[in-house]
Amino acid sequence: MISKNPFKWRHFEKEIILLNVRWYLRYALSHRDLEEMMLERGVKVDHTTIYRWVQSFSPEIEKRCKPHLQPTNDSYRVDETYIKVKGKWTYLYRAVDSQGNTIDFILCAKRDTKAAKRFFRKVVIAGDQGHHLCRQRTVPTCDELACQDFSQV
């Protein structure tokens, strides 16, 4: 049974939860950085709690942000490159529109043909359905998120 209010039984107000999730998604902050920032503001919250909030609320936030992202044109390409992430080499597959905006991307530890084909299929299907969107790394402000009705989670 899905709760009508996802913030029910939470020990913190929804504004604090959404603020932490937004900061984590928008800026390159760790859970421990957010814990320290909240402590400076007089809110004692553990980093594992913030981790749980991010796991719980980020899919819903992404779903609600998707309609507000910029649509892309029908011309795009997929490229593969080898980059270093946190000191380890990984493969980056990304779809880019004709203006250079990243549509979507996937990181793989190994050169995985199945994953690349799956990613390409996902991009093509999304394009056929008219769902290509530029993935801007901006998330709505906490005020905007707090005003939204989260009862359909």
CA torsion sign for 91, 135, 23, 20 is: negative
What are the angstrom distances between the C-alpha of 89 and each of 79, 81, 82, 93? 16, 10, 7, 13
Q: What is the pLDDT of residues 97-123, one digit of tens each?
A: 777 777 777 788 888 778 777 777 777
Q: What is the pLDDT of residues 13-29, one digit of tens each?
A: 889 999 999 999 888 89
pTM of the model as a whole: 0.51
Q: Are 20 and 11 in contact (CB under 8 A)?
A: no
Element (H, E) at 85: strand 76-85
Q: Decide: helix, strand or coil at residue 47.
A: helix
pLDDT band for position 90 (cuts 50, 70, 90): confident
Q: Are 126 and 78 in contact (CB under 8 A)?
A: no
Q: Where are the domains of the chain?
A: 14-68+141-147, 76-128
Q: What is the mean pLDDT of residues 59-69?
A: 79
